[in-house]
Amino acid sequence: MRSISLLLLGALLSSCAMAPQQATMRSPSGERAYQSLLTGRVAGTPVNCVPNYNARDMSVIDGRSVAFRVGTRTVYMVNLGPGCDLLGSGNYALLSRQFGGMGLCRGDIAQVFDTMNRQTVGSCVVGDIVPYQRTG
C-alpha cells in the first residue's frame, strides 16, 4: 500500500514539473493583433505578476495569449497554458480568482467562462508574463 502511495505521489510531482516553453503558433488574425499591440515596444525581463491591471484593458490575442495595457507605456503579454483555447473565439471571458491583491500572477489558474450559457468551459495555468515598454 505504501509503495502505491509513493508511486502516486511521484506521478503527481512529475506532472507539475515545468516543460520547456514552446513557440506559440498563432492564427493570422492573432498574429496581427499581437504585432499591433507590441509595435514600438521592447520586451523586458519576465515578471511574476501583472501589477495594478484593469480587466477592461485586456486584449485577447488567441486562446494562449492575452495582453493587459497598464498606463500608456506598458503592455504585459500573458502566456496561458493548454486548456484556455476557446478564449479566442465566441462569447468567452477569462476569469481569475485572486487572493491577497497581488494581481494576475504566474501559476494562477484561470478559467474560460461561456457568457451565453453561464458555465466554465476550460481552465489553464498562467505562464510567462512579459512586460513590453514603449521605446522613445
Is residue 135, in this structure, part of any structural domain at all?
yes
Residue 124 domain-assigned?
Answer: yes
pLDDT at 42 over 90: yes
pLDDT band at 14 (very low <50, low <70, confident <90, very high): very low
Residue 136: inside a domain, yes or no? yes
> Is residue 76 in a domain?
yes
pLDDT at residue number 51: 77
pLDDT of residue 58: 86
Which residues have CB under 8 Å from 59's CB, separation 6+?
A: 33, 37, 66, 67, 68, 69
Please give the tally of structural domains in the chain: 1
Res 85: pLDDT: 86
User: Does residue 34 fall inside a structural domain?
Assistant: no
Q: Please say if the pLDDT value at position 4 is more than 50.
A: no
Average pLDDT over every residue of 115-134: 91
Residue 23, pLDDT > 80, answer no
In this structure, are residues 105 and 56 in contact, taking their beta carbons and an 8 Å threshold?
A: no
Q: What is the mean pLDDT of residues 71-83?
A: 90
CB atoms within 10 A of CB 26: 18
For residue 101, the enclosing domain spans: 42-136
pLDDT-based confidence at residue 78 (cuts at 50, 70, 90): very high
Q: 56-86 burial, b for 16+ CB within 10 Å, e for fewer?
A: eebebbbbbbbbbbbeeebbbbbbbeebbbe
Going by pLDDT thresholds of 50, 70 and 90, the confidence category of residue 75 is: very high
Q: What are the residues whose beta carbons fall under 8 Å from the beta carbon of 103, sequence distance 6 or more? A: 49, 50, 51, 52, 53
Q: Which pLDDT does position 97 carry in this prediction?
A: 65
Averaged pLDDT, 105-122: 89
Q: Is residue 100 part of a domain?
A: yes
Q: Is residue 16 part of a domain?
A: no
Contact 80, 88 (CB under 8 A): no
Q: Do the domain assignments include residue 117? A: yes
